[in-house]
Structure 1
């Protein structure tokens, strides 16, 4: 629809029709027959008129069902305004990919983009227009269950993946490409910094830290063209995001020039009341709309009070009109006025959803996302040996993760099934439930282990133990699984542990007792097949951590890019006490950012720089030689870090600035080159200018954040460079 026609439509809408466009209701509110509301939904105050006028629906899926809802809406809506269909498609629709934290561990943005493209395709042909992804929150506290939805602890890497996911979902021509969906980046902003890792909790960050660490990935998603932004549940500088004018008006709209649609998270507008910034629904609606929330998800503050607020002059109708325009524009950008069904197509749904080609991509993503944490040479396994496959995940399809609402664990192959399909005989025993010990299961597991030559131990968290509302204070494996390991260890059989989980775990009781540990995360629909291929050496592990694993929960948050202190332990080796350290634990992570082993070995050497000093418009070419010194082909992620030695504010000990993932045959050597530019040296200053300044910088290149080759260079700014 032409913009002029869209403006005319807005002008013909009644006040109630406008307000209705700002309301999002769950699909349960739409009856199978005529849209009538009954039972508990009626008690919430939802009327037939509100359903008829509502602008978007949450969680409707399946072509036939979606078309039925849309048909009813078009029939009953006076102006025949099409309905937006939105859903949680976090890391796949029916074909489930590894959780986003695992996808981050691929260090492969192109692969991440492909997973989003496939997820969009399956969602689009099933009737969905907007997906609530990607989540780009920076995460440093693994107690928070939603770290599984992020790609990790680094602002730069998160930004790269944010852009890749957005482009994967939306493509280059969203209006005409009916196999794509609009992306909704979330949760804006700072949700990953909730205090104590406790879900929905307070966030208290300085503006400087917000801009330096937590906002870049959101901005990258906006720059990539995402159509929708979702507000977070938390406060920002004492004000909940859904009422935060600085966040939604100044930063998002004015500074970043976002012209899309802002939606609250589920119930977040009404939650301004328990937050304590609104006395009632009327004040909540006023603050949210003025702040810039265009769509209220699943509470009724807008329809219950906006009419009164506008008639009383407390809110200008022009403010309402702008919000409605943002919604109508999104519908127009999706081509819904011409084709309200968009990509919904039953034949295409049957053909492509969970198809073989999509599952093959899921397998590849799982293979690249698994991280080998330890290996004393026992992997890859010799499948001719007598193997015992033990643990609650040995024959379990719970490999999809908490957000895989359309995934089917019953259709997900288990490790036992894949071993059998590959013709590899394994003795399988559960050993224990995921969180419950049973003596009968323990006895059976010990018997099978005694008969074997090698034990494969499949342990982890159930999908409900991570994700939203799944914060944990104790991030070890459940006690019954640790007990199982303790009972198997005295058998003196080699033990390979495969971990299924949605967060970094505290593995102090696991690592030393295992001969090898493979971090598999929740690997998705083809996770079991990928793991068997990794264990048997058909695929060489190449995953690298994007979130540090702590040695103890007491270290949290522990992350590689921390600031230095005035008494750093590393620079005061002779001082035994009065330095920044624990007296009962080392400062370092158990497994640092960027870490991951391979079945081969890589040697990185011959770091060289084209020059040692640059000015604003110059670049340094940095080269390093990488050689596969082992016997297997494999992939290595070469990581470049920079440290600003002295800034106007304290700068991190190191910051990831670039990386390359390369594939090498045995004995093959490749030169990897990077360009260092002035833009890579910028940071937020006390006056909130984003600029570079003169000084010495350390350069570090290596296989992970803790092991690097180092050099330095000097940069001379001409009065500082603003972004």
Structure 2
């Protein structure tokens, strides 16, 4: 295609205002070019192949796609590597040549574009960039267990820098799903069950990845927050099922994280698969336009989830009208769909308006201008220290390990323990520490629990190993060896759990979700469970090892809270590490040996069994009765987590505009306490919840140290969703309860405050602020 001279065009002037540049470029575009900007049809791994010489060449499929729309709006997963894409170290882009591949594709796109419009390279960054040699972080559920937004912000900034240094632009990150049913395989992608905790971590994600300012720095990446909205509440914990949510539940539980992300400046959100009250999110104008854009003032990009637009044909009748419905609802950029490829036809037939088409194109172009792609379309190569990524991943892993009980007092491992048996299917492997959406790892990457204990244990410690059982199935042949090893030891460390490791024999749906699982995959997208038990052989191994009489520490490596009440009853100590990443084994060993203090707190309530769901703490304040045949409460409650020391928390007191709590380390070791402030409403315009987390603060104390923790309490901590679904601060009485878990907050000494009509706060014998 002959190139035209647009050198004097306003859209090419970097000094011109963004709105001027967008309007000028939009005015020059044909309908065909506009539609091309809204399509993200290709899988990125189909755009290239590695030659026998070791370099990359572009495929005919990419040539056909850029010819179809005279350019390319966006390309998904150019660097994605996993069992679904089929990309591995032998044929995919690694750390050394990802930028070369990105620049090769970008050069081709610019040559095919009459107006020299660059493409957006969209990449999965669920817990680090999902690319070969990318830093793998602990999964989101583990991030939630840290209760440390500042640490997560640092890790998010590193992930953004890695992405941009390799040629990627836009980061897809799960943040908005709230874990309400642990049977759902994507529970690992949630920050937890609580909207406040998720909102604070979502803010940290946006700040860390995007930075500040209208234009993105070379080491910052715009974030697409997934998934909007209510996907964590699908019926039965089944992936992509309907969400039976009333408007209030949606607003109170499933929207706060999204609202926090929008307020923090998130560049984009992804419309979810599920429907809410009969309207699929991708076709829900009330959600995407009425709420997100008009009420919240969001001016960024809305991307559809993979093939979600085409699903709308179930209610529109065909894919052309499905694309028109999604566009009218507020979707700007499709993902693999056919429906958006027919938008020109939809406009001609009057199914979609040209104004809606132009508005969507303008949002795509604006993001490209904010990234500076018209001035610098090629990768600004920068060295991002690999060691820094590993250190951050390990630091997060340390912070997420949560000590659930230590009734036997066996932890930390004492000097009299000379023989340690390390057992279980997770003991000697790192593959199951990684979580779903993880690229293949190079041999030798990561540290297992066994290797870390052998390296870190005091000299002379005999660390023995027997696997004992597989993750799945009922093969018991390895249990006698494990039992003998445990019986001959002073301490048994039994590492159990689940796995989200995809393998080449896993079968996938068209959107990449696991369909027929034929490996040890027990969690992840498409891997939903009817029950929450571990594999049969794992339970048999647990029973046999604890029956030896050897003190046993159970460590759970998992992407959801499994129901293992036997460990609570029989093990001397119980920890959960979630999926802690490649170096999680090192973090676990450090905690076991007392080299690191356990500081994690539960981001979800742990159920006793799948037949006693739900168990989330923030249910409605009703007569929440038990069952005749069992306790309805959780095994361990939201916010719970022990230390190797003890703390005393004094009663809360009102001091000016702050709540003050004295925290004392009453033990013999340093430690971290997470002070959790819950609100219980005594009167409210709508039916209240039993408790609502509204603030949390971490305090690190030396043995015997006492510190006053001051928590500012303002109207924003006391707001609720009113009768009209608008956020209000009702002039009603509230109880402030400060505790170390939701369960303890139920019996904590309350501080009663009155909220005045002017939103002033008063306590007994106080004057209004």
For residue 20 of structure 1, the aligned residue among 36, 56, 62 is 36
CA distance in 2, matches of 1:135, 1:529: 26
Aligned runs of 1:44-443 on 2, under 5 Å? Answer: 47=65, 49-50=67-68, 52-61=70-79, 62-93=98-129, 94-173=134-213, 175-273=215-313, 276-303=314-341, 305-343=342-380, 345=381, 348=382, 351-352=383-384, 355-376=386-407, 377-382=409-414, 384-398=417-431, 399-405=433-439, 407-408=441-442, 410-422=444-456, 424-443=461-480
Q: CA deviation at 1:136?
A: 1.8
**Counterparts in 2 of 1:679-698, with a 5 A limit?**
679-698=716-735
Q: Secondary structure at the match of 2:540?
A: helix
Q: Quote how far apart the aligned CAs of 1:548 are.
A: 0.4
Give 1:688 shift: 2.6
After TM superposition, give the deviation of residue 539 of structure 1 in Å: 0.6
How far, CA to CA, are the matches of 2:350 and 2:737 in structure 1? 59
Alpha-carbon distance between aligned partners in 1 of 2:184 and 2:68, rounded to the nearest angstrom: 36
Q: For residue 541 of structure 1, report the CA deviation from its aligned partner.
A: 0.2
* Matching residue of 1:449: 486
Q: When the two structures are superposed, what TM-score results if normalisation uses the length of structure 1? A: 0.92
Query: What secondary structure, in the 3-state scheme, does the structure 1 residue paired with 2:472 have?
Result: coil
Q: Distance in 2 between matches of 1:176 and 1:559?
A: 38
What is the root-mean-square deviation of aligned Cα atoms in Å? 2.0
Write the distance in 2 (CA, Å) between the matches of 1:73 and 1:525. 36
The answer to whether the 8 Å contact 1:137/1:191 transfers is yes
Aligned counterparts of 2:634 and 2:295: Cα–Cα separation in 1: 36
Distance in 2 of aligned mates of 1:323 and 1:29: 26
- Asked if 1:524 is matched to 2:581, the reply is yes
CA distance in 2, matches of 1:657, 1:538: 32
Q: Mean Cα displacement is larger for which, 119-128 or 239-248?
A: 119-128
Contact kept in structure 2, 1:156 and 1:656, CA below 8 Å:
yes
CA contact (8 A) 2:487 2:549 kept: no
What secondary structure is seen at the aligned counterpart in 2 of 1:710? coil
Equivalent-residue separation in structure 2 for 1:358 and 1:48 (angstroms): 35
Question: Any conservation in 2 of the 1:691–1:720 contact (CA below 8 Å)?
Answer: no
> In structure 2, which of residues 684, 698, 702 is the aligned counterpart of residue 647 of structure 1?
684
Tell me the secondary structure at the aligned position of residue 509 of structure 1.
helix
- Partner Cα separation in structure 1 for residue 586 and residue 370 of structure 2: 40
Q: Distance in 1 between matches of 2:161 and 2:755?
A: 49
Change (3 A) 1:407 1:338: farther
Kept in 1, the 8 Å contact 2:626–2:633? The answer is no
State the match for 2:92 in structure 1: none
CA drift at 1:331: 0.6
Judge which range, 371-380 or 93-102, deviates more. Answer: 93-102
Give the Cα–Cα distance (whole angstroms) in 2 for the partners of residues 236 and 437 of structure 1: 40
CA distance in structure 1 between the partners assigned to 2:443 and 2:333 by the alignment: 33
Shift of 1:48: 5.1
Q: CA deviation at 1:10?
A: 1.4
Offset, 1:720? 7.9
Change (3 A) 1:500 1:144: same
Q: Deviations over 1:332-358 (max 9, x none)?
A: 111111111244x2xx3xx426x1222
2:630 to 581, 585, 597: 585
Aligned partners of 2:240 and 2:343: how far apart in 1? 26
Aligned length: 687
Shift, 1:654, TM fit: 1.0
SS of the counterpart of 1:270? helix
CA contact (8 A) 2:185 2:527 kept: yes
Contact 2:469 2:478 in 1 (8 A): yes
User: 1:469: Cα distance to partner?
Assistant: 1.0
